[in-house]
Amino acid sequence: MKTKFLLFIFSIIFYQIQIQAQSSTVQQRQIEQKIIRNWVKYRIEMKDGSQVPDERITKNAASMLIFKKGNVGVLISGKNAQQTQYAISDSILVLGRTESYVIEKLTEHELIFHAISENIPDNEIIRYHYVATTESSGQYFFRQFIKPTIKIQANGDTAYNFNEYIFPNFKLSLGSSAIVLSDFYEVYEASYDMIEKEFNFPAKKKGGFRVTFAISKFGTLKDVEIKESSDSIYNNTLIQAVYQTRKHWFPAEHENKKVETLFNYVYVYEDKIEDNFDGFLYQNTKENANSLFNKKEYVKAIKLYTKCILMQNEDFDFEPYYKRANSYFTLKVNKNACLDWSYLAKKGQKRAGKLFLENCMK
């Protein structure tokens, strides 16, 4: 009797284990089925809900994730796509061989996950929000990166704002020889610097200018206009400086067709304090500015970042420029943010050049 009872108990336990295993298998399949779709980046934040401390974190996160059957995934950043393997076990998502994440939420419409990090506080762990889309990668790329740059001209032709996906080539003279630049940032830096060199604005004078121009689908420089100027006396000089680049351009191409591109260059010149540099005072001022910035007291922070900038006899610390631009942009004073990003780009800061093109070429 006792033996029969024990067998009965064991059969019940075995049945429950089977049920749990089947349930776990069903849940695993449901998770795998839900994740197999296209996802676009919606928001990047820290796990505690705070804002990411560096905008590069958001920019560098994949703009689109594609999960396919057979554990094949595609990570898309801009026009670059990288194929990888993925695996899911319970709530753990593994991308490639080394990157592991905890899935916080997965529905047919939303995917939220964060990086697995031991003994790290939540305000240092990145959380990723993605939403499902029916768009293909090509459709998403066009909507996100190409469509916003399209401008319809008065004659009905289509033109594109100068951007890292559609841009003309630029011939750079090197003594008796020349090379054709086909990298976006090299084209931007070389053309910007050539115009500034030809402009030759007085070294100790303060001023600011915004000039626009176009490179036609035939490679012709045209429509040079001064849109903003602190001193109209120099407007014609800047226009002539732009025209000095006219023999250096080759038309941009999009989908194997030559297209017109539109440029918007900003030049800013600031006075510098001539007093001897006080490193202790500078560091103290910068720390106070950062404290105000972190407290989101942006107006006060801007004043101290400006003081830091003016204290530098020569630019050696670009952080105050970035933080001041970020503060202006948060306060929706976009014009001033664009001036700072443009100045930094002129100094060879590629990240600032990208921020300028993304936020100021509209």
Residue 277's pLDDT band (cuts 50, 70, 90): low
CA dihedral 184, 185, 189, 190 (to 10 degrees): -50
DSSP labels, 10-25: HHHHHHHHHHHHHHHH
219 or 34, higher pLDDT: 219
Torsional class of 167: left (φ above 0), alpha (ψ -120 to 50), beta (otherwise): beta
Residue 23's pLDDT is 45
From 136-150, 224-238, 279-293, the region with the lowest mean pLDDT: 136-150
pLDDT at 68 over 60: yes
238 or 357, higher pLDDT: 238
Domain ranges of the chain: 33-134, 150-269, 279-360
- Average pLDDT of the residues in 226-248: 93
Mean pLDDT estimate for the chain: 83
Residue 4's pLDDT is 53
Give pLDDT tens digits for 335-347: 888 888 888 888 8
For 150-269, CATH number?
3.30.1150
Residue 22's pLDDT band (cuts 50, 70, 90): very low
Residue 207's pLDDT is 86
Residue 212's pLDDT band (cuts 50, 70, 90): very high
Burial (0-12, 13-18, 19+ Cβ within 10 Å), 204: exposed
For 33-134, CATH number?
2.40.128.280
Query: Helix (H, G, I), strand (E, B), or coil: what is residue 295?
Result: coil
C-alpha angle with apex 301: 283 to 127, nearest 5 degrees?
95
For 279-360, CATH number?
1.25.40.10
Question: Cβ–Cβ contacts within 10 Å for residue 329, how many?
Answer: 20
Q: What is the pTM of this model?
A: 0.53
Widest CA span in the chain? 110
- Report d(CA 87, CA 264) in Å as an integer: 46
Residue 17's pLDDT is 47
